[in-house]
Amino acid sequence: MTTSLADHLRALPDESLAALLQLRPDLVVPVPADVTALAVRAESRVSVARALDGLDQFTLQVLDAARLTRRPEDGTSSTDAVLAITTAGPHPPAPTSVRSALDRLRALFLLYGPESALRVAGGVDEVAPYPAGLGRPAAELDPRAAALCADAAKLRRTLLAAPPSARAVLDRLAAGPPVGSVPPGALQAPAVGAEDELPPDPTNGGAPTGSPVRWLVDARLLVRVSTGTVELPREVGLLLRRDSGPLGPLRTSPPPVAGTLREPKLADSAGAGQTMELVRHTEALLESLAAEPAPVLRSGGVGVRDLRRLARVTGLDEAATALVLEVAYAAGLVGETDLPGATTTRYGADQQVLPTGGYEVWRAVSLAHRWEQLARAWLTMSRQVGLVGQRDDRDRPISVLSAEAERAGAPAARRAVLEVLADLAPATAPSPDEVLALLDWRAPRRSRGREAAHREVLTEAAQLGVTGLGALTSYGRLLLAEVTEADGRGGGDPLGLRSDAESGEPSSAVRALDALLPAPVDHFLVQADLSVVVPGPPDPMLAAELDVVAEHESAGGASVHRVTTASVRRALDAGYTTEDLHALFRRRSRTPVPQGLTYLVDDVARRHGGLRVGSAGGYVRSDDEALLAEVLADRRLEPLGFRRLAPTVLVTPYQVQRMLLALRDAGYAPVPEDATGAAVLARPKTRRAPARAATGHSVDPLAAPKPAMPRLLGVVEQMRRGDAATRAARRAPAVVRGGAARAAAGPMPAHSHSDALAVLQQALRDKALVWVGYVDAHGATASRLVRPVSIGAGYLRAEDERTEMLHTFALHRITAAVREG
């Protein structure tokens, strides 16, 4: 008696069911209605695939063993059978590890039932069609192949007779998957007489056989399952695997990751150096974006040209720049905004990317904090930056920040790779291949096809300073632990209250990194070549001062600036006085200030402000200085606010007209002049209304009109037609009108379609008026008073007298016709 999974689940105690739901949380979204629904879902393709994804290679192999040992009669397997097949190979695993793998599978209900009758959950066969990479039994494929397989000795002989090239094909299929595709036509026998034209078999060395696959198909070692596809029967596969065991090589424990042992201090230090670089590059990139925001492409993201520009600014290559930009975006330091107004005429450039307000906050916190913010964003962002610059399915380049680089699996991939590093002893640097091999063992279904992404994680981690010299740094380890913990807590803290509460306190990763990073310095060294060296990261005050008084030259652990004429002028423009500058250099410099610098400051200050620029509304000039003095002293002109620029020039903030009037009122005789100095002569302008035509009265409005005869006749005709229209405006008969009422009434009235046609034909002959009821294209009923003109080809053509228009009605749409009475 077979029991379904539903029966089995129903028989379980509550705790066991809860345990299943905990292991496969996707089963409760949405909550299943009953246990039957739960069982259906647990055997569904999606859920099974999810459960399989999380299994390691060995457990999957044990599941395959259970699938292979199913008894054909009832489809069940047993623990003993599984043990027998798994230990059949040359390096049998310990039975305990097989049993524990079976327990894991049973806990997931991928296998269920008693140990003597294990059933495989439905859906497994759909998700992974070829157990252990073996094909279907020959009996299911082809009777002739089955016959060959049944004769063990013959099968062996045939195998040994296979030419080397065919054997190579067999070996590849035996390693799994057992299905291969062949080019169309490869399986066809050569045309008669054309055998000699076949190229000799390169590996065979013997007579030309054509394609090795064709040889195999002919020998029944491969079975053709569809055009262009061949399958290796299970029996042949098992025979080929006799050296490695029926399941292939089994590995009960993960492949070892040895790695190179680095000195922890050096690894940390290299990583810390890289963190400083990352923060500096981010800042340089964002500053550049602030100065010149990058337009958003119509397809989303930032274009290659802008990326190149940013790469030039940061001095990184494009891939690294893309990463910095993506991380900054994920950290909320960059955002898109609509262009203010129409500042550009370029089509589609209506959004641009520039630093957000969060950038200001970010800039104010310590180096380690800034790094943490970036690194956290990187760990959790669902972007695969390595895709930037590659081409998408439609062969279009993927641009940075575009939706094409979005990969939901990216955070999990990062976590998986970094956890491999974190599981190693501190400062161990494994090779990428070792890491990939381990990931492949841990979750083969998940890591397949993600090798490139995993490699990228390693390079990105190095660029972010999460790793140093290839090993996870101490602070990187702490950060990873924190993020993992926060994620694990996610279920218990859905509102994120706890993480908010502790945000004031620097995390342990920040503290660890802080200890590695240099402390800010508040002094610099000034040298005779006017270079200013800050031997460490400058404290914010010092940085702000240097930004003003010197040009930036080189950055890194220290920063080098140079004082130039232009930078001193800038400082003076910004409000520094000569004394301030001297004091600044004296106060901040650890070394004596070189004479050249002091001289430079004085020299620039001497010339600073040698020219004065301002704006004025108007001026008064005169060669007569005494006259100007008089104007300046005139109390009546005080409201004009004259200022004396030179003995012969006064300026006022007011406009020329006002000044002219005021001066004239005060009894002076000013003459206005234009920009070239020529006198402007002005005559008073008389005000006039706009010109208009004269109004003439040629017609007496009171005289009676005398209309002409034709016009009167026209009036009469119009009146007659109006009369006819009034007659016609009588309501149409009810039978024509009442389409809707009829439908509600149910049975069709006596007035049928053929009656209507008869009425119409009669009216056509009589040239009489008819009420026609019809259904229009929208299904609404309508009626019209018309005079039929013709009937034919399924259409009635008729004239509407009121509108003088010719209408065409489809006959099948006409519901009724009544002679106008």
Binding interface with another protein (CB under 8 A): 266, 268-274, 276-277, 280, 315, 462-463, 465, 467-469, 516-518, 525, 527-531, 533, 535-536, 554-558, 560, 565, 591, 594-596, 599-600, 603, 607
Cβ of residue 302: shortest distance to another protein, in angstroms?
23
Strand residues in 60-122 grouped as ranges (E): 111-112, 119-120
Q: Which is nearer to another protein, 165 or 274 (CB)?
A: 274
Q: To the nearest whole angstrom, how small is the minimum distance from the Cβ of residue 614 to another protein?
A: 23
What phi and psi values does residue 185 have, to the nearest 5 degrees? 90, -15
Distance CA 15, CA 797 (A): 81
Minimum CB distance to another protein smaller for 271 or for 295: 271
* Least spacing, CB of residue 270 vs another protein, in Å: 4
Q: Which is nearer to another protein, 39 or 464 (CB)?
A: 464
Token pair in block for residue 137: 């039994």
280 vs 369, beta carbon nearer another protein: 280
Q: Which residue number, 520 or 617, has a Cβ lying nearer to another protein?
A: 520
Sequence-distant (6+) residues with CB within 8 A of 39 are 4, 5, 6, 8, 9
* Lookup: tokens for 517: 């990073």
- Kindly report each contact of residues 582-590 with a partner whose C-beta sits within 8 Å and lies 24 or more positions away, as own/partner: 584/545, 584/549, 585/526, 588/522, 588/523, 588/524, 588/542, 588/545, 589/523, 589/524, 589/525, 589/526, 590/523, 590/524, 590/525
Phi (first) and psi of residue 732, to 5 degrees: -65, 155
Q: How far is the CB of 462 from another protein (least distance, A)?
A: 6
Nearest distance from C-beta of residue 22 to another protein, angstroms: 41
In angstroms, give the least distance from the CB of 331 to another protein: 20
d(CA 792, CA 785): 19
Q: Which is nearer to another protein, 163 or 465 (CB)?
A: 465
Q: Minimum distance between the CB of residue 354 and another protein, rounded to whole angstroms?
A: 24
Q: Which is nearer to another protein, 114 or 556 (CB)?
A: 556
Nearer to another protein, 292 or 529 (CB): 529
Contacts 24+ apart (CB under 8 A), 735-742: 735/773, 735/816, 735/818, 736/771, 736/772, 736/773, 736/783, 736/815, 736/816, 736/817, 736/818, 737/773, 737/781, 737/783, 739/773, 739/775, 739/781, 739/815, 740/781
Q: To the nearest whole angstrom, how small is the minimum distance from the Cβ of residue 325 to another protein?
A: 17
What is the crossing angle of helices 451-464 and 367-380, to 10°? 170
CB of 277 to another protein, least distance (A): 4
- The Cα 93–Cα 111 span in angstroms is 20
405: nearest Cα among 418, 421, 391: 391
Separation of alpha carbons 350 and 286, rounded Å? 20
Give the relative orientation of helices 367-380 and 474-489 as an angle to the nearest 10 degrees. 50
The minimum distance between CB 519 and another protein, in angstroms, equals: 9
Helices 432-442, 451-464: inter-axial angle, 10-degree rounding: 130
Whose Cβ is closer to another protein: residue 227's or residue 595's? 595
Name beta bridge partners: 809: 796
Backbone angles phi, psi at 153, to 5 degrees: -65, -40
Nearer to another protein, 225 or 593 (CB): 593
CB of 607 to another protein, least distance (A): 7
Nearer to another protein, 155 or 517 (CB): 517
Q: Rounded distance, CA 688 to CA 671, Å?
A: 26
> Beta-carbon neighbour count of residue 645 at 10 Å?
14
CB of 476 to another protein, least distance (A): 12
Smallest gap from Cβ 377 to another protein, in A, equals: 20
What's the CA gap between 288 and 324, in Å, rounded? 13
Q: Which is nearer to another protein, 315 or 647 (CB)?
A: 315
Could you tell me the smallest distance in angstroms from the CB atom of residue 385 to another protein? 16
- CB-count burial class (<10 Å; 0-12, 13-18, 19+) for 711: exposed
Name, in order, each residue with C-beta under 8 angstroms of 611's C-beta and a sequence gap of 6 or more. none
**What's the rounded Cα separation, in Å, for the pair 92 and 98?**
10
d(CA 548, CA 114): 80
CB of 570 to another protein, least distance (A): 17
Per-residue tokens: 241 = 């695997």
Kindly tell me which of 289 and 534 has the beta carbon lying closer to another protein: 534
Our CB check for another protein shows the closer of 426 and 749 to be 426
Strands of the 229-231 sheet, one edge to the other: 179-181, 229-231, 223-226
Question: Minimum distance between the CB of residue 601 and another protein, rounded to whole angstroms?
Answer: 11
Nearest by Cα to 221 from 281, 161, 308, 300: 161
Per the CB < 8 A criterion, the answer to whether 385 and 320 are in contact is no
How many Cβ atoms are within 10 Å of 571's Cβ, its own excluded? 25
